Amino acid sequence: MIVFVVNTNRNRTGITGIGHLPPSAKLVYKVLESNGLLTQKDLIRETALPSRTVRYAINRLKDEKFLIERYYFQDARQSLYELNRPAPEEGIRA
C-alpha cells in the first residue's frame, strides 16, 4: 500500500494561512513581506490599488492577526504597517 502525504498548510499561492483572504489582502501581504514597514499611502503606491481597497485589505489582515499597526512618528496622521511574524526561537539565528 502506498500512502501519499499532502501538505495542507500551504495553498496555491505559497502563503500559509491567507488562502481564504481576498486577492487585495494577499497583494498587500506580499508587498509588506518584501518591503517591510509601509504607510497606507506607500501601500497604495506600491500595489496600484484604490485607497478604499487597500483600507479593506489592511482591516482584513489586522482582523486575522497578520498585520501590526504602529505609530508613525514623522506624521501622526498616518500609521505604519508590518507583518506580524513570530519571534525567532532562542538559539536559532535567522
Residue 8 DSSP symbol: T
pLDDT tens string, the chain, 94 residues long: the values are: 555 444 444 444 445 588 899 999 999 999 999 999 999 999 999 999 999 999 999 999 999 999 999 999 999 999 999 998 875 665 555 5
CB 79 within 8 A of CB 70: yes
Integer Cα distance of 94 and 89 in angstroms: 9
Pick the CATH number of 23-83 from 3.90.650.10, 1.10.10.10, 3.20.20.150, 1.10.600.10: 1.10.10.10
- pTM for this predicted structure: 0.74
